[in-house]
Structure 1
Amino acid sequence: MTKTFKAVLLASIFAVFAIPASAARQERVQAKGKVFDVQGQPLAFATVALMAKDSTIVGGTSTDMEGAYVLEANAGSYTLVASMIGYRDLSLEVVLRAPVTELEEITLEDDSEMLEAAKVTEKVNLVEMKMDKIVMNVSQSAFAQTSNALDLVKKAPGVTIDKDGNIKLNGKSVSIWIDGRPSHMDGKSLENLLRSTSGTSIERFELMPNPSSKYDAQGQGGIINIKTKRNALAGFNGSLGGSAAGMYFKKPDVFEWNEDLWANLNYRGKKTNTFVNLYEGIYNMGMDFSTELELREPDFKQHTESFQNNSYRAFNVKLGNDWFINDKNILGVIATVPGSWNVMGGRKGEEYNGFTDQTLAGETARDLSSSLNNQKNLQGSANINYTHIFDPDRSAELTANLDWYRNASRDNNSISDRVVLEDESLGDIHEKVVANGSVLDIFSAKLDYQTVVWKNAMLETGAKWALSMTDNKMLKTETGLADNRNDFTYREQVAAAYVSLAKPFFDNKFTVKAGLRGEYTNSFGDWKSTGTSTPRSYFDLFPTVFLGYNHSENLMLNLSYTRRIQRPNYQNLNPAEEYVDAHSLVKGNPDLKPQYTNSVSASVMFFKHFSVAMGYDYTRDMFTQMPEYSVSGEQILTWANFGTNQMAYVNANISAFPIAKWLQWTLNLNALYSDNRNGELRNSNFIFAGYTDFSFILPKDWKIQIDGSYNTPMTWGYFKLSSMWSCNLGVKKTMLDNRLTISFDVDDIFRSSHQNMEIIGGDPNVIRAASTLKYYNQMVKIGVMWNFGQAQRTRYRKVGSLDETSRLGSGSLGGK
Structure 2
Amino acid sequence: MKRILITIISLGISIGCLQAQTIEITGKVVEINSQKPIEFATVKLLDTQDGQLLAGTTTAADGTLLLTTQKTDFILEISFIGFITTRISEYTVIDGTVNLGTIRLSEDSELMDEVVIRGERSTTEFQLDKRVFNVGQDLSSTGASALEVLNNVPSVTVNIEGQIQLRGIGGVQILINGKPSVLASDGGNALGTLTADMIDRVEVITNPSAKYDAEGTSGIINIVLKKEEKRGVNGSITLNTGVPNNHSLGFSLNKRTDKFNLFSQLGLGHRTFPETFETLNSNLSEQTFIRNRGDGEKNETFFNLILGTDYHINERNVLSLTGNFAYELETEYSNGNFTAQTGTAAPHAGWTRDEATEATNPKWQYELQYKSDFSDKDDHYLLISALGSSFAKKQQSSFDNLPSFGESALQDRQQTDTDFGQWEYTFKADYTRPMTDKITFESGGQYLITDVRNDFAILGFENGGWQEIPERTNTFFFTQKVLGVYSTGAYEGDKFGLKLGIRAENTDLNTLLEQTEEENRKNFTNLFPTLHSSYKLADNFSLQGGYSRRISRPRLFDLNPFYNIRNNFSIRTGNPELLPELTDSYEITGILDLELLSLSSSIYHRYITQTVENVTTFEDNVAITMPMNIGTNKATGLELNGKITPNDWLSLNADFNYNYFNREGTFEASPFDFTADQWSARLTSKFSLPADFTLELIGNYQSAYQTFQRTISGYALADIGLRKKIMKGKTILNLSIRDAFASRIFENETVQNNFRQYDYRLRGRFITFGISYGFGKGEAMEFSGQKRF
How has the CA–CA distance of structure 1 residues 109 and 154 changed in structure 2, closer, same or farther, with 3 Å as cutoff?
A: closer
**Counterpart of 1:143 in 2: which secondary structure?**
helix
Letter in 2 for 1:395: D
Query: 5+ residue gaps in structure 2?
Result: 1-29, 40-59, 64-77, 89-101, 780-789
**1:298: Cα distance to partner?**
4.2
Residues 186 and 201 of structure 1, relative CA distance in 2, 3 Å threshold: closer
* Cα 1:365–1:541 shift into 2, 3 Å: same
- Whether the 8 Å CA contact 2:679–2:703 is kept in 1: the answer is yes
1:518 aligned partner:
504
Per-residue deviation, residues 252-283 of structure 1 (Å, max 9, x unmatched)? xxxx3211110121110120001011111221
Q: Distance in 2 between matches of 1:333 and 1:683?
A: 52
**How far apart are 1:380 and its partner, in Å?**
0.9
The C-alpha deviation readout for 1:559-595, integer Å capped at 9, x for no partner, is 1001000011111111111223242221111111110
Counterpart Cα distance in 2 of 1:183 and 1:321: 19
Aligned to 1:440: 422
Match of 2:67 in 1: none
- Are 1:742 and 2:730 matched, yes or no? no
User: Are the structure 2 counterparts of residues 691 and 388 from structure 1 closer, same or farther at C-alpha, using a change threshold of 3 Å?
Assistant: same
Per the alignment, do residues 542 and 428 of structure 1 end up closer, same or farther by CA in structure 2, a change over 3 Å counting?
closer
Deviations 1:382-420 (A, max 9, x none): 110001122352422111110111111122221111233
Of residues 682, 686, 694, the one that matches 2:685 is: 694
- SS of the equivalent of 1:579 reads strand
How far is 1:790 from its partner? 4.5
> Would the alpha carbon gap of residues 47 and 627 (structure 1) be closer, same or farther in structure 2, given more than 3 Å must change?
closer
Q: Secondary structure at the match of 1:157?
A: coil
Residue 452 (str. 1) matches residue 448 (str. 2): no
Residue 638 (structure 1) shift = 1.3
Distance 2:344 2:645 in 1: 65
Which of 222, 228, 232 is the matching residue for 2:229?
A: 232
What residue in structure 1 maps to residue 50 of structure 2?
Answer: none
CA displacement at 1:368 relative to structure 2: 1.7
Name the CA distance, whole Å, in 2 between partners of 1:735 and 1:687. 44
Cα deviation per residue 1:300-357 (whole Å; 9 max; x = unaligned)?
22211121111122221111110000012110011111222222213xxxxx543233
User: 1:257–1:283: 8 Å Cα contact kept in structure 2?
Assistant: yes
Residue 479 to residue 774, structure 1, CA distance change in 2 (3 Å): same
Would you say 1:149 and 2:146 are equivalent positions? Answer: yes
User: SS where residue 572 of structure 1 aligns?
Assistant: helix
1:713–1:660 CA distance, 2 compared to 1 (3 A): same
Q: What secondary structure is seen at the aligned counterpart in 2 of 1:627?
A: strand
Matched, 1:623 2:612: yes
Question: Could you tell me how far 1:787 is from its partner in structure 2?
Answer: 0.8
SS in 2 for 1:588: coil
CA deviation string 1:692-738 (max 9, x = no partner)? 10000123321100001111101123221000111011100112222
Aligned to 2:17: none
1:783 aligned partner, one-letter code: G
Find the counterpart in structure 1 of residue 580 from structure 2.
Answer: 594
* TM-score, normalisation: structure 2: 0.82
Alignment of 1:676-687 (within 5 A): 676-679=663-666, 680-687=671-678
Q: CA deviation at 1:44?
A: 7.4
1:389 corresponds to = 373
Write the mapping of 1:772-791 to structure 2, written as runs, cut at 5 A. 772-776=760-764, 778-790=765-777
Q: Distance in 1 between matches of 2:585 and 2:525?
A: 20
SS of the equivalent of 1:391 reads coil
Structure 1 residue corresponding to 2:180, chosen from 182, 187, 200: 182
What's the counterpart of residue 242 of structure 1? 239
Q: Which amino acid aligns with 1:739?
A: K
The residue matched to 1:182 in structure 2 has which SS? coil
Closer, same or farther in 2 for the Cα pair 1:622/1:309, shift >3 Å?
A: same
Per-residue deviation, 1:483: 2.5
Residue 661 (structure 1) aligns with? 648
**For residues 442-521 of structure 1, what are the structure 2 equivalents within 5 Å?**
442-480=424-462, 483-484=469-470, 485-505=473-493, 508-521=494-507
Once residues 133 and 197 of structure 1 are traced to their aligned partners in structure 2, the CA distance between those partners, rounded to angstroms, is 22
Deviations 1:96-146 (A, max 9, x none): xxxxxxxxxx9945388xx99x97995411112222111111111222433
- Please list, as runs of the form range in 1=range in 2, the aligned pairs for 1:265-280 lying within 5 A after superposition: 265-280=253-268
Matched letter for residue 730 of structure 1: G
Q: Distance in 2 between matches of 1:291 and 1:662?
A: 47
Q: Is the 8 A contact 1:415 1:581 kept in 2?
A: no
Q: For residue 429 of structure 1, report the CA deviation from its aligned partner.
A: 4.1
Report matched runs for 1:142-221 at 5 Å. Answer: 142-173=139-170, 174-184=172-182, 188-193=186-191, 195-221=192-218
The 5 Å alignment of 1:560-571 reads: 560-571=546-557
Which SS does the other structure have where 1:150 is aligned? helix
Counterparts of residues 338-417 of structure 1 (less than 5 Å): 338-346=326-334, 352-359=335-342, 364-417=348-401
Cα distance in 2 for partners of 1:366, 1:36 equals 74
Letter in structure 2 aligned against 1:179: N
What does the per-residue CA deviation read over 1:222-275, in whole Å, with 9 as the maximum and x for residues that have no partner?
1111112222321110110011111xxxxxxxxx32111101211101200010
User: SS at 1:139's partner residue?
Assistant: helix
Rounded Cα–Cα distance in structure 2 between residues aligned with 1:691 and 1:524: 42
In structure 2, how many angstroms separate the alpha carbons of the residues matched to 1:783 and 1:729? 14
Answer whether contact 1:336 1:381 (CA < 8 A) is retained: yes
In the other structure, the counterpart of 1:316 is: 304
1:553 to partner: Cα distance: 4.8
Equivalent residue of 1:164, what SS?
coil
Give a deviation string over 1:634-662, Cα, whole Å, max 9, x none.
2221121122111111001112x113321
- Of 699, 705, 709 in structure 2, the residue corresponding to residue 714 of structure 1 is 705
CA contact (8 A) 1:448 1:462 kept: yes
Q: Which residue of 2 aligns with 1:612?
A: 601
Structure-2 change in CA distance of 1:121 and 1:262 (3 Å): closer
Provide the C-alpha distance between the structure 2 equivalents of 1:612 and 1:61, rounded to a whole number of angstroms: 26
CA shift at 1:432, angstroms? 1.2
Residue type at the aligned position of 1:162: N
CA RMSD in angstroms, aligned pairs only? 3.0
Counterpart residue number, 1:137? 134
1:160 to 1:108, Cα distance in 2 relative to 1, 3 A: closer
Is 1:281 aligned with 2:269?
yes
How far apart are 1:296 and its partner, in Å? 4.2
**Distance (whole Å) between structure 2 residues aligned to residue 229 and residue 293 of structure 1:** 47
Equivalent in the alignment of 1:577: 563
8 Å Cα contact 1:740/1:787 also seen in 2: yes
1:726 aligns with 2:717: yes
Using the TM superposition, give the Cα deviation of residue 542 of structure 1 relative to its aligned residue in structure 2, in angstroms: 0.4
Deviation at 1:288?
Answer: 1.6
Specify whether residues 599 and 791 from structure 1 end up closer, same or farther in structure 2 by C-alpha distance, changes over 3 A only: closer
CA distance in 2, matches of 1:213, 1:287: 42
2:396–2:416 CA contact under 8 A, matched in 1: yes
Contact 1:300 1:361 in 2 (8 A): no
Instruction: Say whether 1:291 aligns with 2:279.
Output: yes
| 2:532 alignment partner in structure 1 | 546
| SS of corresponding position for 1:672 | strand
| Aligned mates of 2:209, 2:276 — CA distance in 1 | 42
Which amino acid letter does the alignment assign opposite residue 452 of structure 1?
P
Gaps of 5+ in 1: 1-34, 49-59, 64-81, 92-105, 247-255, 347-351, 793-816
Q: Structure 1 residues 188 and 339 mapped into 2: Cα distance closer, same or farther (>3 Å)?
A: farther
Q: How many residues align?
A: 683
> Alpha carbons of 1:294 and 1:265: their partners in 2 closer, same or farther (altered >3 Å)?
same
Amino-acid identity (%): 22
- Cα offset for 1:625? 1.6
- Hey, what's the Cα distance between the residues in 1 that align with 2:272 and 2:187? 18
Distance 1:217 1:36, change over 3 A: closer
1:194-232 deviations in Å (ceiling 9; x for gaps): x43332222111111111111100011111111122223
Q: Report what 2:325 is aligned to.
A: 337
Mapping of 1:49-128 within 5 angstroms?
A: 86=83, 108-110=104-106, 122-128=119-125
Note the C-alpha offset of 1:175: 1.2
Please give the secondary structure, in 1, of the residue aligned with 2:748.
strand
Q: Please give the alpha-carbon distance, in whole angstroms, between the structure 2 residues aligned to 1:338 and 1:421.
A: 46
